[in-house]
């Protein structure tokens, strides 16, 4: 009987001890997280904004992701140089983490952006990670977010090869990797095509909604390009928007509205807590 009385007290003591090992939020040393990637991470069309909102005040998040960029074009246009400039000043941070996610625009059919899956993409990702480490920061690789395209009720994960390449680079270098591709495929599959369409930047057109109800995705109507002389409120064409690093605020199966941003940002945060335990106190539960 005495042992039964003592057992709950021991369990409580262990739990309190475990909690006491985590520093109180007010005592956390400031850290910095830099986001590097494409539109599925970017400010207006990706999970980056909601991820930033999931951080406590002691974590500074800088979103340098740009729409329409691949692992090759991001460096070629000078965006990576800006990341390296950010890493030069100490700025009083305990540590800086650089989260890197590419793949969408590395696929074939993206003129000026596509990279070879065997000889270029993994080399680019490896170089990014190595340069982050050489600068004294910590890289975290992320596999590409899935597209929300269904065929007969099943998600078509055409980004799986780029996810595998990313994981291989992470394993070779011994750096953390977040398998957002696998997590997002599972989440989108669970939602199904009708509900998954609500994660986009705009509601689905009628033809898309009707097809989704049958378990299939059809190509979304393209938004017509507008002239630069048109009203400032006009929706730009896709090519113009991508050159600016932004996505067209219309329905598609790739980019995210607020609902999609929150869903996938939470997946990233959960993966980050497991893969980088030191960041757990900086992420809201």
What's the confidence (pLDDT) of residue 27?
Answer: 85
Mean pLDDT of 92-116: 96
Burial 21-44 (b: 16+ CB within 10 A, else e): eeeeeeebeebbbbbbbbbbbbbb
* pLDDT exceeds cutoff 90 at 206: yes
What is the Cα–Cα distance from 274 to 22, expressed in whole angstroms?
15
Mean pLDDT within 18-40: 78
Which of 148, 58, 40 lies closest to 101, judged by CA? 40
Q: What's the pLDDT score for residue 235? A: 34
* Contact by Cβ (8 Å): 121, 115: yes
**What's the average model confidence in pLDDT over 179-206?**
98
In angstroms, rounded to a whole number, what is the distance separating the alpha carbons of residues 127 and 263? 30
Task: Give the span between the Cα atoms of 166 and 172, in whole angstroms.
Answer: 10
Rounded to whole angstroms, what are the CA distances from 110 to 39, 53, 266? 14, 32, 29
The pLDDT tens digits of the residues spanning 44-58 come to 999 999 999 999 999
**pTM of the complete model:** 0.85
pLDDT at 226 over 50: no
Token pair, residue 242, equals 């991508």
pLDDT of residue 272: 98
Q: Where are the alpha helices (DSSP H) in 88-153?
A: 121-134
pLDDT at 225 over 80: no
What is the CATH superfamily name and number for domain 28-282? SGNH hydrolase (3.40.50.1110)
The pLDDT of 182-199, averaged and rounded, is: 98
According to the model, what pLDDT value does residue 222 have? 76
Q: What is the pLDDT of residues 53-77, one digit of tens each?
A: 999 999 999 999 999 999 999 999 9
- The residue assigned the tokens 């600016």 is 244
Q: Is-contact 96 279, C-beta < 8 A?
A: no
* 131 C-beta neighbours (distance < 10 Å), count: 17
Q: What angle do CA 11, 19, 262 make, to 5 degrees?
A: 120
Supply the pLDDT for residue 24: 56
Strands (DSSP E) found in 133-205? 138-142, 150-151, 154-155, 177-178
pLDDT average, residue stretch 30-43: 98
φ, ψ at 80 (rounded to 5°): -65, -35
pLDDT number for residue 236? 39
pLDDT value, residue 221: 82
Q: What is the 3-state secondary structure (H, E, C) of 14-38?
A: HHHHHHHCCCCHHHCCCEEEEEEEC
Calculate the average pLDDT of the chain: 87
> In this structure, are residues 196 and 257 in contact, taking their beta carbons and an 8 Å threshold?
no
**Structural domain boundaries in the chain:** 28-282
More confident residue, 97 or 235: 97
- Is pLDDT above 60 for 95? yes
| Residue 180, number of CB atoms within 10 A of its CB | 25
- Burial of 204-230, coded b for 16+ CB within 10 Å and e otherwise, reads beeebeebbeeeebeebeebebeeeee
Least confident of 46-55, 64-73, 167-176, 214-223: 214-223
The values of phi and psi at residue 234, to 5°, are: -65, 150
Report which secondary-structure segment, H or E, holds 195: helix 180-196
pLDDT reported for residue 12:
43
Report the SS3 class of residue 237: coil
For the stretch 108-144, pLDDT in tens is 999 999 999 999 999 999 999 999 999 999 999 999 9
Residue 78 has pLDDT above 50, yes or no: yes
């Amino acid at each position: 009987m005495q042992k039964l009385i003592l057992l709950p007290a021991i369990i409580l003591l262990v739990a309190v001890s475990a909690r006491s090992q985590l520093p109180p939020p007010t005592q956390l040393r400031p850290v910095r997280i830099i986001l590097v990637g494409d539109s599925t991470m970017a400010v207006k069309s990706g999970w980056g904004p909601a991820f930033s909102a999931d951080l406590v005040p002691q974590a500074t998040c800088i979103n340098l992701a740009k729409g329409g960029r691949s692992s090759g074009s991001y460096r070629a246009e000078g965006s990576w140089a800006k990341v390296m400039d950010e890493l030069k000043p100490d700025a009083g941070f305990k540590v800086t983490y650089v989260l890197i996610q590419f793949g969408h625009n590395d696929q074939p059919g993206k003129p000026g952006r596509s990279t070879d899956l065997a000889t270029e993409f993994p080399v680019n990702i490896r170089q990014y990670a190595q340069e982050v480490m050489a600068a004294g920061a910590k890289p975290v690789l992320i596999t590409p977010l899935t597209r929300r395209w269904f065929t007969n009720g099943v998600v078509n994960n055409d980004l799986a090869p780029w996810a595998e390449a990313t994981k291989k680079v992470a394993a070779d270098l011994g750096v953390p990797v977040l398998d957002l591709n696998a997590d997002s495929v599972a989440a989108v599959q669970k939602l199904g095509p009708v509900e998954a369409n609500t994660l986009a930047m705009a509601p689905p057109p009628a033809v898309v909604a009707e097809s989704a109800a049958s378990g299939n995705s059809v190509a979304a109507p393209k938004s017509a390009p507008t002239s630069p002389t048109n009203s400032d409120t006009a929706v730009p064409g896709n090519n113009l928007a991508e050159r600016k690093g932004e996505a067209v605020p219309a329905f598609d199966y790739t980019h995210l509205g607020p609902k999609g941003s929150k869903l996938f940002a939470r997946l990233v945060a959960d993966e980050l807590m497991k893969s980088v335990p030191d960041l757990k106190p900086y992420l809201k539960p």
